[in-house]
Amino acid sequence: MRTEQLQKLRLLRHWRVRKKVIGTRERPRMSVCFSGKNIYVQFIDDGAGVTLAAASTLSKTIPDRDKLAANKISAQRLGLLAAEAAKNAGIQKVVFDRGSARYHGKIKALADAARQAGLQF
């Protein structure tokens, strides 16, 4: 496929997911974003438009953060750290927002690690 078509399909998939996923104060949206080098996770209250908690591979509180990258092993580790940050903010239940990414590989590893740490999806 042409690059323009792939970008259009990615954007349509992103809109389709975001249309259905809305976070509240009791059940915020767990937004996951993978760049080429890093992973970012935010817990967002869409009603108030604020971020309640966040974690990323760039956080200074993470030990050995220079060894983390945007791969499956780092995604598992960040899933545990993100769940810990959410629990510290008083968050137990979340709505998972994968953006335009498909649910497999790194996305699935991060979600499974967050579930194991005690977050309810």
Q: Angle 87-91-96 (CA atoms, 0-180°, nearest 5)?
A: 110
CATH class of 3-116: alpha beta
Instruction: Kindly provide the residue ranges of all beta strands, DSSP E only, lying in 1-121, ordered along the sequence.
Output: 29-34, 39-45, 50-56, 95-97
98 pLDDT above the threshold of 90 = no
Q: What is the DSSP-derived secondary structure letter of residue 69?
A: -
* pLDDT digits 0-9 by tens, 35-92: 989 999 999 999 999 999 999 999 888 778 778 888 999 999 999 999 999 999 999 9
Distance CA 30, CA 89 (A): 13
Q: Which pLDDT belongs to residue 91?
A: 95
Q: Which pLDDT belongs to residue 53?
A: 95
Instruction: Extract the tokens encoding 32.
Output: 């996951």
Instruction: Extract the tokens encoding 54.
Output: 């966040």
Q: Which pLDDT belongs to residue 40?
A: 95
- To the nearest whole percent, how much of the chain has pLDDT over 90? 68
How high does pLDDT run on average in the chain? 91
* Beta pairing class for 29-34 and 39-45: antiparallel
17 pLDDT above the threshold of 90 = no
28 pLDDT above the threshold of 90 = yes
- To the nearest whole percent, how much of the chain has pLDDT over 70? 100
Q: Which pLDDT belongs to residue 108?
A: 95
Provide the residue type at 2 as one letter: R
**8 A C-beta contact, residue 118 and residue 83:** yes
**H-type helices in 21-51, by residue range?**
none
Q: Which pLDDT belongs to residue 63?
A: 78
Neighbours of 102 (CB within 10 A): 9
In this structure, the chain runs to a length of 121
